[in-house]
Amino acid sequence: MASDRRIAPGAAGGAAALVIAGILVAALSLRGPIVSPTPVLRQIETDLGIGAATAGLLTTAPVLMFALLTPVAALVIRRAGAELALMITLTGVLLGTFLRAVPGFGWMLAGMIVIGASITVGNVVIPVIIRRDVAPERVALVTAAYVAMLNAGSLLTSLLTVPIASVIGWNLALLAWSVITIAGMLLWGLHLRHAAARGDLWGRGSRVRRAPVRHPSVTGTLTRSPVPCRYLWGEGGCAATRCFATPCHGCFFWRSRDRLPCTTASRPGCRHSSRTISGSAQRPRAG
């Protein structure tokens, strides 16, 4: 059964724009929170009574998280799904931003660690979402826009943190950048709501119930389960391994509740044709 949805396996025009907008706004929070303490580092040293080497931990701790937690980030994405993983990223960045606003160097360092760990997940998941959800001919353009927004976030915080700090103090100036993160959370939350309504949230941790549907070529009730997958052809049936960056992001994976054959059904624009896997199901007829 084909769907007229195009991205996210399958969102249509408005949803496509919402995904891209969510990614771009989220990108503003993936570098800025790390860079923002640098322009006011001297003030931080003076107010907290720490040396330059100790203050340097505030900017090196997030980078260290990138190196140490990338495997953990991949596990989070696999368990929660890409959509929820990005929301986890933004929530973690917001939490870390509030933590580092608490007086004391220990709290500030803890906040930077939380920010770094959260951004590690975002670094991995956003390219996954772009490749999976965006039409192939637009992947390069959206990726370039994403990188540009990363740089824009760094530029904004570098240029404006000092002027803001001169008015409200450096700690509140760092906290003020949470407005961008909250905007990203609201936008991505809107996308999550739409995705849940369509049954498009992926990942083992997803609680979305997918409505039973009727496949035109197989009798019985099937469960539509769109998953990022690579199909393995075996003698006893079919299996799917989760692989988020594969060309078959536009296909359905059909699994029978009644132990009926498994098939893949092509979506519009999918480069994989429909195929029957170890069973009597026939390829759906066009139209």
pLDDT at 243: 35
Q: What topology is assigned to 13-198 in CATH?
A: Growth Hormone; Chain: A; (1.20.1250)
pLDDT at 230: 36
pLDDT at 212: 41
In the chain, domain spans: 13-198, 212-277
Dihedral angle sign, alpha carbons of residues 157, 159, 164, 169: positive
Q: Which residues of the chain have pLDDT under 50?
A: 1-11, 203-287
CB 185 within 8 A of CB 90: yes
Taking the whole predicted model, whether its pTM rises above 0.85 is answered as: no
pLDDT at 231: 37
Measured between alpha carbons, how far is 253 from 239 in angstroms, rounded to an integer?
9
